[in-house]
């Protein structure tokens, strides 16, 4: 049974490694100003179909604006300000919004900035580990910022988690969905992130269950540091998942977000799936709190038992010390001091006293 569990865990580890090794690294495409090494992909879509050829963002956006049903999806990975400046100018972003788009640590949010809507989604992935230690990284998080306009969507990704190459590939197989414009990309990205949230919550839940099984073992049990480290990682995951609820609710408000009406039902479904993850995270967090408190109580009980044992042996030793101290005094008239059997009698008294005390402590559970 243990070999089967190990085999399954290794299989999951290999599967996730293969899944996260996606071709979502910067390509050799160029922006109009010649900046490179930050663009993952740049594509022009007309009626939900990707157009052939490699275009600069300026060329693709100009072509999309000439068509009512065309838009551009530009994917960027950790661009610098110099690399992003041309894009910000092209889509009419102000400096404050551009700085927010380049921020790696942001809470999930949706904001309307003129003709551009900015949607921030936290990414996450489960980090495989042979065993949980006091320093193990369990959850790795990042961020994806989507800048959505009438004819474009710009995705800015930070961190190793949240690769969007497979999202683009899967979405390009659904031209009917892509025909809904840039907001179809926002839906696909959110859908992928929530799917990953479910996978991460399942793996973290297994770690919590494993800790629960080993928390009270006398030999080979978990340490308090291990429980606390997993709790810290769960809190990091919680910060990525829970705040996304508010933006998804706001996106169902036509005043806040302008999107094709047929897409609103899809975002409503995302909110329901996200709520399931939030409930699982809250349940795991409460269970970890219980495990931590129980483990701390057990540590205190173990320390109390150790102190009892130390006190019991100290009491036994104190009896010998007291008798030896009395007969070690420089007095001539001590009972039995000059008796030929006095020495043996004192040894017998010391041994008998030790046995009596030992049996008493054993009966009381101190030894």
- Percent of the chain having pLDDT more than 70? 85
Distance CA 104, CA 74 (A): 18
What does CATH list as the number for 302-364?
Answer: 1.20.58
What mean pLDDT do residues 15-22 have?
Answer: 40
CATH code 3.30.460.20 for 2-297: yes
pLDDT at 5 over 70: no
pLDDT for the residue numbered 154: 95
What mean pLDDT do residues 201-217 have?
Answer: 83
Q: Return the minimum-mean-pLDDT range out of 83-87, 121-125, 289-293.
A: 289-293
Per DSSP, 244 falls in state: G
Which residues in the chain are classed under CATH 3.30.460.20? Answer: 2-297
- Show the tokens assigned to 208: 């919590």
What mean pLDDT do residues 131-140 have?
Answer: 82
pLDDT at 19 over 50: no
Which residues in the chain are classed under CATH 1.20.58? Answer: 302-364
Residue listed under structure tokens 């790795």: 140
Confidence of residue 9 (pLDDT cuts 50, 70, 90): very low
pLDDT tens-digit readout, 60-96: 999 999 888 899 999 999 998 888 988 999 898 888 8
Strand partners of residue 145: 120, 156
Strand partners of residue 339: none
Q: What is the mean pLDDT of the chain?
A: 81
What mean pLDDT do residues 155-174 have?
Answer: 90
Strands 49-50 and 39-46, how do they pair?
antiparallel
pLDDT tens-digit readout, 302-336: 677 778 788 888 888 888 788 777 777 766 667 76
């Amino acid at each position: 049974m243990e070999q089967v569990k190990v085999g399954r865990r290794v299989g999951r580890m290999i599967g996730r490694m293969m899944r996260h090794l996606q071709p979502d690294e910067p390509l050799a495409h160029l922006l109009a100003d010649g900046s490179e090494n930050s663009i993952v992909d740049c594509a022009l879509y007309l009626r939900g179909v990707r157009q052939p050829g490699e275009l600069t963002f300026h060329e693709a956006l100009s072509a999309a604006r000439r068509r009512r049903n065309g838009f551009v999806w530009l994917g960027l990975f950790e661009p610098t300000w110099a690399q992003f400046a041309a894009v910000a100018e092209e889509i009419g972003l102000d400096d404050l919004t551009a700085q927010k788009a380049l921020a790696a640590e942001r809470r999930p949010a949706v904001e309307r900035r003129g003709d551009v809507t900015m949607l921030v989604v936290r990414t996450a992935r489960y980090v495989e580990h042979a065993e949980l230690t006091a320093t193990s990284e369990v959850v790795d998080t990042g961020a994806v910022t989507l800048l959505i306009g009438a004819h474009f969507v710009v995705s800015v990704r930070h961190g190793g988690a949240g690769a969007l190459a497979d999202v683009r590939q899967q979405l390009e197989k659904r031209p009917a969905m892509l025909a809904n414009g840039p907001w179809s990309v926002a839906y696909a990205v959110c859908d992928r992130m929530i799917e990953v949230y479910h996978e991460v919550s399942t793996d973290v839940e297994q770690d919590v269950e494993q800790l629960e099984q080993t928390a009270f073992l006398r030999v080979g049990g978990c340490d308090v540091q291990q429980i606390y480290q997993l709790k810290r990682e769960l809190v990091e995951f919680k910060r990525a998942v829970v705040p996304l609820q508010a933006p998804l609710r706001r996106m169902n408000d036509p005043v806040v977000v302008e999107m094709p009406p047929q897409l609103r039902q899809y975002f409503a479904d995302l909110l329901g799936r996200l709520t399931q993850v939030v409930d699982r995270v809250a349940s795991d967090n409460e269970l970890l709190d219980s495990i931590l408190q129980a483990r701390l109580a057990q540590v205190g009980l173990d320390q109390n038992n150790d102190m009892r044992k130390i006190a019991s042996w100290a009491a036994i030793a104190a009896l010998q010390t007291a008798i030896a101290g009395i007969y070690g005094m420089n007095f001539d008239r001590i009972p039995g001091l000059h008796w030929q059997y006095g020495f043996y009698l004192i040894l017998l008294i010391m041994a008998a006293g030790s046995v009596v005390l030992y049996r008493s402590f054993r009966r009381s559970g101190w030894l």
